[in-house]
Amino acid sequence: MKLVRYGAIGAEKPGMIDADGTLRDLSAHVGDIAGDVLSDAGMAKLRAIDPASLPAVGGNPRFGACVGGIGKFMCIGLNYSDHAAESGLAVPKHPVLFMKATSAVVGPNDDVYMPRGSISTDWEVELGVVIGTKAKYVSKENALDHVAGYCVINDVSERHFQNNLSGNWTKGKSCDTFGPTGPWLVTRDEVPDPQKLAMSLDVNGKRMQTGNTSTMIFPVAEIIEHLSSLMTLHPGDVISTGTPPGVGMGMKPSPVYLKKGDVIDLTIEGLGQQRQTVKEDA
């Protein structure tokens, strides 16, 4: 299934994309794509619904983030060896974890706003993992059983804030609009192997990132195993699993960063596309 949240900011409704690509309204069945809806039992109830019985949604509504009520937005840094190399950093021995504020979360096609004082806002296409059932001390062998589904994330980053404003990476990762998520949540039964997904990102039509989740240092199952040994993962928690090479910070001979009016297009195989226009915060 492809599950979505659509409508005005703060008033999103739950929906489903049927086999013909039609948006169908799920409001009569669930309040949101969140919480218990993400569990195996919740997903089973949604699968039992005949999409043709759901009202079709006309027009071209805005898509919000594909999961609501996000509890933790966890990000894995330097999870592709070639990205670590372009960043001038060693390949980590364990998953590098930082957090992104949930207030950064926006829809997949919402504008991205460079914050005041930004001099180096950057892009990062990443595979997003949404937890569906509580996970604590799980092994990598059954870790994926706790996943509700997968989505596209742009881990937008302000590198000056990230690297120079004393503290950890969270400062450069949590600015408003720095977490476009979606367009839809693709349930795990439709993603038999999350380590075989092509991914790409363009800026103004020029290809910047080309990668595949097969080259992750720590695969999704190992990430979940590691994180669940540190903290309980709850339904609706999101994990952004790292980015392949081609970020602006790593460009040679000098970095290239986003500017007002730039258009970012990113896609992951089977998970949909995003497009954001870059603007300046007031």
Number of domains in the chain: 2
Q: Which domain holds residue 9?
A: 2-53
The upper half-sphere exposure of residue 43, i.e. CA atoms within 13 Å in the direction of its Cβ, equals 21
Distance CA 262, CA 276 (A): 8
Q: What are the percentages of helix, strand and coil residues in the chain, rounded to 5?
A: 20, 30, 50
Residues 231, 275: one domain? yes
pTM assigned to the model: 0.96
Residues 37, 175: one domain? no
Provide the percentage of residues in the chain whose pLDDT is more than 70.
Answer: 100
Task: Supply the pLDDT for residue 249.
Answer: 93
Mean pLDDT throughout 72-90? 87
62, part of any domain:
no
Distance CA 247, CA 224 (A): 25
Distance CA 18, CA 24 (A): 7
Give 35-52 pLDDT, tens digit per residue: 999 999 999 999 999 999
Mean pLDDT throughout 272-282? 96
Residues 21, 108: one domain? no
Residues 90, 185: one domain? yes
Residues 113, 41: one domain? no
Q: Is the Cβ–Cβ distance between 229 and 243 less than 8 Å? A: no
Residues 113, 211: one domain? yes
> Is 89 or 152 the better-scoring residue by pLDDT?
152
Task: Supply the pLDDT for residue 82.
Answer: 79
Give 84-104 pLDDT, tens digit per residue: 788 787 889 999 999 999 999
What CATH number is associated with residue 165? Answer: 3.90.850.10
